[in-house]
Amino acid sequence: MTDQEEQSLKETKRAEKQAAEEIKQSARDQARRKDTLAREQAIEEEQKKRETKRAEKQAAEEIKQSARDQARRKDTLAREQAIEEDQEVRKLKAKKESRE
């Protein structure tokens, strides 16, 4: 085998080795991208779950707050009516006493 044939054989082996390494690297890169995508999707899914849970909790709290506000308004109205009735009774009593 001549030096030129030997050199050609070495270059061919080097090229084959480099091509094989590039294929391996490409496969590793593809696997890494796939893993990254899976992690990102899992994170997004978890964020959506948390957001849904947060929204449900907020809606429940708004309903409770609305009920508390309504009860407070009802109580305030009842007190105002009781005060008005008491004032009316006092007025009538005062009129009655002034006539006597």
End-to-end Cα, the chain, rounded Å? 145
pLDDT at position 5 over 90: no
Nearest to 59 by CA among 47, 69, 51: 51
* pLDDT tens per residue, range 38-78: 999 999 999 999 999 999 999 999 999 999 999 999 999 99
Average pLDDT of the chain, as a whole number: 94
Rounded percentage of the chain residues whose pLDDT exceeds 70: 98
What's the confidence (pLDDT) of residue 82?
A: 97
What's the confidence (pLDDT) of residue 100?
A: 66
| Chain length of the chain | 100
The angle subtended at Cα 40 by Cα 34 and Cα 42, nearest 5°, is 105
Span 25-31, average pLDDT = 98
What's the confidence (pLDDT) of residue 98?
A: 80
CA dist 24 → 16, 57, 73, 98 (Å): 12, 49, 73, 109
What's the confidence (pLDDT) of residue 95?
A: 82
Confidence of residue 84 (pLDDT cuts 50, 70, 90): very high
